[in-house]
A and B are shown apart, each in its own frame.
Chain A
Amino acid sequence: MIFRIRFAKYGVVKFIGHLDVMRYFQKAVRRSELPIKYSQGFNPHQLMVFAQPLGVGVTSDGEYMDIETEDVDFAGNALSAERVREILGGALTEGFEIVSIRQIPWQEGTKHPENAMSLVAGADYVMSLKDGYSLGILDSVEQDDKISYLKQKLESFMGQDNIVVCKKSKSGEKDMDIKPYIYEAAVEDNSRIPSFIDETGVAHADVYEPGIRFFFSLSAGSAVNIKPELVLEAFLSYCGEDFNELMFQIHRAQMYSDVEQHTGL
């Protein structure tokens, strides 16, 4: 049986890197006595696939992993999504939480369905201005007008024909037009979230005093992966403002397999 688990990562565990998160879940599975399946070979490993790494310092409500299990638990009862949630959920510690879980239809012996990793096509992000920081461009703007001022700016930023940024990768730097990969962009205060993000996606997003939150829906996955920092940096530089990564808390709200339909993994 294959189960796809959506989980949240929040609070202090945001400082744990991707490899350690994987090790954390491997241990949680062993503590939980979930009847996970193992690979063959001298050093068998658990059949567990993570959709996409999350950067150190980033929180999330939209992480995914697939696990392949036996059909029955150790007591001999048939496994279900609910049971997996109970068993594994009980072994998680503060900072990790199962948001939802579903069984992926699959007939053992037939071809494996596509896994979470290969399905990722898009992701939603929330970027909140942290306590103690402010934006220079807002200095002369009245408190009540700040959001609408940023909205205007963001609209004209998105209204450009193209948005060229310098994208760094392992192979070097190159200029790239990221506009086609920004599906949505919005800015709101703490009281609102834009319609393209649902409540679940911000359940564990920290809320900060300045009350300025940017929302982006971006291309993600193996084809074109756009980091939200890149977009925000481009926007701020468009406004004539310097960007500093520490100013914003990044939160991944959700990941999608089909961006247009907004279907989660």
Chain B
Amino acid sequence: MRKLALSDEILMSVDKSARYIGHEVNAIWKDLDKIDIRFCMCFPDVYEVGMSHIGIQILYEMFNRREDTFCERVYSPWPDLDKLMREHNIPLFALESQQPIKDFDFLGITLQYEMCYTNVLQILELSQIPIFAKERTWEHPIVIGGGPCTYNPEPLADFFDIFYIGEGETVYDQLLDTYKKYRKEGRSRHDFLVAASQIEGLYIPELYDVEYNEDGTLKSFTPREGAPEKVKRQVVADMSDTVYPEKPVVPYIRAVQDRVALEIQRGCIRGCRFCQAGMIYRPLRERSLEFLKKYALAMINSTGYEEITLCSLSSSDYTKLAELMDFLINEMGKRRINISLPSLRIDAFSLDVMSRVQDVRKSSITFAPEAGTQRMRDIINKGLDEETILNGASEAFKAGWDKVKLYFMLGQPFELDSDVEGIPHLADKIAMAFYDTVPKSERRGKVQVTISTSYFVPKPFTPFQWAAQITPEEYLRRKTLLMDTLKQEHNYKSIKYNWHDSNTSILEGLLARGDRRVGRVIYEAYKDGCLFDAWTDYFNMKKWEQAIERAGIDMDFYTTRERSTDELLPWDFIDTGMTKAFMKREYEKARKGQTTKNCREGCGGCGCNSWTTGVCIEA
């Protein structure tokens, strides 16, 4: 057992001290004398959230398969510990060895959502690593960012040495080998970064010069010292011949995802125009049945979890889902392991599967139409029509369900008031379908329909990347319109309405489509005490507004301004495989309310077939 970095006194005075002690089941330990590279993998949020992320577990497994590398983990210290670490000048440490991260070779930080950006600066500062990349020397680890937010890394450009664009499974070996070579040869840190820029998928922000026009838009984005003009997204070609954890680390305390996660496929065929995940993980690539069976059993046996969940963007599109479910229901049944199934399209098949794995009376069925009218659903290319929703709901009601959750977005491009009003209308029709389908004698009470709306944030690498985000005032107006309309509905007593906070979404909008200058806002906000912004209790809009003011940033320029499709965008240097022409075409089609087929019905010509894998080459 290793000595802990924190004293008993500190551990006894903070909440959930088990977050900081490491030593979990399946945590890896290596002899520090026998390794060359120490890598610390960070999820910049609290332990219970970070431990729920499958991507980290994949990379943890991948790095640790290398004999010369020891990969450890770190998560954001909760504010109670943050305060004590500063008071006692304790450097942030990795969970496995309990040793300071500042002595590591690499600190890899996954960027899953914009609202964790201040936590990134906390990790750096508590680690006693200079926050600004330009102040770092060989004394400090190489700080590398990955994850979906790197599709516009610019607001964080000043804080990172390298960004890894794309899926982590591909070029890390090359990076580590280069690192070893350069260290051994005694080369400079800068030389190493220049060499790293030659590895496909790696973006070294300090090697690019940025110039702006007078109107604030980007004028030029120029590589130096041989860095490539375009950084190519990394894609795993064969999802059944790649690393996956057989022994995921099992936390002592309950994580948000307290179960085995089986990623059945990556990518999505659907092409909803608002959806960044659906665009940046193209093409859809399935894992083979054999692969999934093997890992499902291995992970259950090595962890002792009592639940397994399938993860993917749209599980219903997995072609061998029926076979996989038969296998799981059989094998997990024997072991009394529960199966949970998120993101299924509601139809006869999924209802049958769901009724076999969960308690119908307690669970609810979920639809994500994202828009209330067919007009609007065509604009966003959500291939889901009212008939399908109502039929699915009726089938579910017949099978015994009486709770329905509906997810929508307000503020997508070209939305009219009538589209907003369509949301409660649709909810009402669903409630009506319940009363039409289920005879009084069989009802256990009222049907419960819950509408949730979020505030649309346009994201890079989607056809809506040029669109204006609506103002918070406008979001609130539409929310009120929705509520007022709801009160008029026949079944309004059966319908509940939840909405998402408007402040976080507008900030998310700024960070998602910001350029390098926005980094100042993050820094100012952090220095003023902003931390854990994804947590409602900690989010402080006032401080962010002051930070924006101090940084001299015009919020509207980044959020509510519609960009011309000719504008040079801060993330244009990334080549995701999807062409700009495709995105423009999709934006135009949205304007006209025209739909595009999903990848299985017919290739939409997005450009990702250049990867020659997955759905693009399905027979």
A contacts, CB < 8 Å to B: 11-13, 15-17, 20, 23-24, 26-31, 38, 42, 44, 56-57, 91, 93-95, 130, 245-246, 249
- Which stretch from B101-109, B160-168, B246-254, B558-566 is at the chain A interface? B246-254
What residue of chain B has the Cβ atom nearest to residue A130's Cβ?
B8
User: Can you offer 5 A-B residue contacts whose CB atoms are under 8 A?
Assistant: A13-B252, A20-B18, A56-B17, A94-B23, A245-B12
Chain A residues with Cβ below 8 Å from B254 are 20, 23
User: Whole-angstrom distance from the CB of B156 to the nearest CB of chain A?
Assistant: 34
- A91 near B304 (CB under 8 angstroms)? yes
Greatest chain A CB density within 10 A among B21, B304, B335, B336 is at B304
**How many angstroms from the CA of A14 to the CA of B308 in the assembled complex?**
28
Q: Nearest CB to that of B304 among chain A residues?
A: A27
Residue contact A93 to B25, C-beta cutoff 8 Å: yes
Pair A27/B25 contact, Cβ less than 8 Å:
yes
Taken residue by residue from 1 to 38, chain B's Cβ proximity to chain A (1 for < 8 Å, 0 otherwise) reads as: 11010001101100001100111010000000000000
Cα-based distance from A13 to B25 in the complex (angstroms): 11
B residues near A, CB below 8 A? 1-2, 4, 8-9, 11-12, 17-18, 21-23, 25, 250, 252-254, 300-306, 335-336, 359
Contact A16 B18 (CB under 8 A): yes
Chain B residues near A27 (CB-CB < 8 A): 25, 250, 303-306
The 5 closest A-B pairs by CB, nearest first: A27-B304, A30-B304, A31-B304, A15-B17, A11-B1
Which single member of B21, B250, B302 contacts A15 (CB below 8 Å)? B21
A16 contacts across to B, CB distance below 8 A: 18, 252-253
User: A116 to chain B: closest CB distance in Å?
Assistant: 22
> Known contacts A28-B304, A246-B8; can you find 12 more A-B pairs with CB under 8 A?
A12-B2, A12-B4, A12-B23, A15-B21, A16-B252, A20-B252, A24-B252, A31-B304, A44-B336, A57-B8, A93-B25, A245-B12
- A245: nearest chain-B partner, CB-CB: B12
**A57 and B303 in contact, given A16-B18, A16-B253 (Cβ under 8 angstroms):** no
Chain A residue numbers with a CB within 8 Å of B303 are 27, 31
In the assembled complex, which residues on chain A have CB atoms less than 8 Å from the CB atom of B2?
12
A130 to B11, CA, bound (A): 15
In the complex, A245 Cα to B12 Cα: how many Å? Answer: 10
Which residue of B is nearest A44, CB measured?
B336
Interchain nearest-CB distance for A61 vs B (Å): 16
Contact A20 B305 (CB under 8 A): no
Chain B interface helix/strand/loop/mixed: loop
- Are the CB atoms of A42 and B253 closer together than 8 Å? no
How far is the CB of A130 from the nearest CB of chain B, in Å?
Answer: 7
Distance of A211 Cα from B12 Cα, bound (Å): 22
* Residues of chain B within 8 A of A26, CB atoms compared: 304, 306
> For the complex, what is the distance from the CA of A130 to the CA of B7, rounded to whole Å?
11
Residues of A within 8 A of B359 (CB): 42
Q: A27-B25, A44-B336 are in contact. Are A246 and B9 (CB under 8 A)?
A: yes
* Complex CA–CA separation, A28 to B302 (angstroms): 9
Q: Are A56 and B12 in contact (CB under 8 A)?
A: yes
Query: A12-B1, A27-B303, A30-B335 given as contacts; is B23 within 8 A of A93 (CB)?
Result: yes
Bound together, the chains give a CA A13 to CA B27 distance in angstroms of 14
Q: Which residue of A has the minimal Cβ distance to B23?
A: A12
On whether the beta carbons of B12 and A57 are closer than 8 Å, the reply is yes
User: Are A246 and B304 in contact (CB-based, < 8 A)?
Assistant: no
Q: How far is the CB of A210 from chain B (nearest CB, A)?
A: 15
CA distance A246 to B335 in the complex (A): 43
Residue of chain A at shortest CB distance from B301: A31
**Whole-angstrom CA separation of A249 from B17 in the bound complex:** 16
Closest to B335 in A: A30
Asked if A30 and B306 sit within 8 Å, CB to CB, the answer is: yes
Query: Closest Cβ of chain A: how far from B508's Cβ, in Å?
Result: 33
**Residue contact B302 to A31, C-beta cutoff 8 Å:** yes
Complex CA gap A95/B25 in Å reads 11
Docked pose: A16 CA to B23 CA in angstroms: 11
Contact assessment for B304 and A13 in the assembled complex, using a CB-CB cutoff below 8 Å: no
Nearest chain A residue, comparing its CB with the CB of B14: A15
* Nearest residue, chain B, Cβ from A25: B304
The answer, among A17, A28, A31, A249, for a CB contact under 8 Å with B18, is: A17
Q: Provide the residues of chain A in CB contact with B11, threshold 8 Å.
A: 15, 57
CB distance from A161 to the nearest CB of B (A): 35
Q: Return A32 CB to nearest CB of chain B, in Å.
A: 8
Least Cβ–Cβ distance between B250 and chain A, in angstroms: 6
Chain A residues positioned under 8 Å from B8 (CB to CB): 57, 130, 246, 249
B336 lies within 8 A of A15 (CB): no
Residues of B near A31 (CB, < 8 A) are 25, 301-304
A23 proximity list for chain B (CB < 8 A): 252, 254
Which residues of the partner chain A approach B21 to less than 8 Å between Cβ atoms?
A: 12-13, 15
Query: How many whole Å from A55's CB to the nearest CB in chain B?
Result: 10
Residues of B contacting A95 in the complex (Cβ-Cβ under 8 angstroms): 1, 23
Chain B residue numbers with a CB within 8 Å of A13 are 21, 23, 252
Point out the residues of chain B lying under 8 angstroms from A246, CB to CB.
Answer: 8-9, 12
A253 shortest CB reach to chain B, Å: 19
The interface residues of chain B lying within 8 Å CB-to-CB of A12 are 1-2, 4, 21-23
Minimum CB–CB distance for A67 against chain B, Å: 15
Closest to B12 in A: A57
Shortest CB-to-CB span from B77 to chain A, Å, is 15
Q: What is the minimal beta-carbon distance from B555 to any residue of chain A, in angstroms?
A: 44
Q: Nearest Cβ distance between residue B338 and chain A, in whole angstroms? A: 8
Q: Do B252 and A38 touch across chains, with their CB atoms under 8 A apart?
A: no
Chain A residues within 8 Å of B22, by CB: 12
- Which residues of A sit under 8 angstroms from B300, Cβ to Cβ? 30
B336 touches A38 (CB 8 A): yes
Min distance, Cβ A150 to any Cβ of chain B, angstroms: 23
**A94-B1 Cα distance, complex, nearest whole Å:** 7
What is the distance, in angstroms, from A82's C-beta to the closest C-beta of chain B?
22
Cα A246 to Cα B11 with chains together (Å): 11
Nearest B-chain residue to A24, judged by Cβ: B252
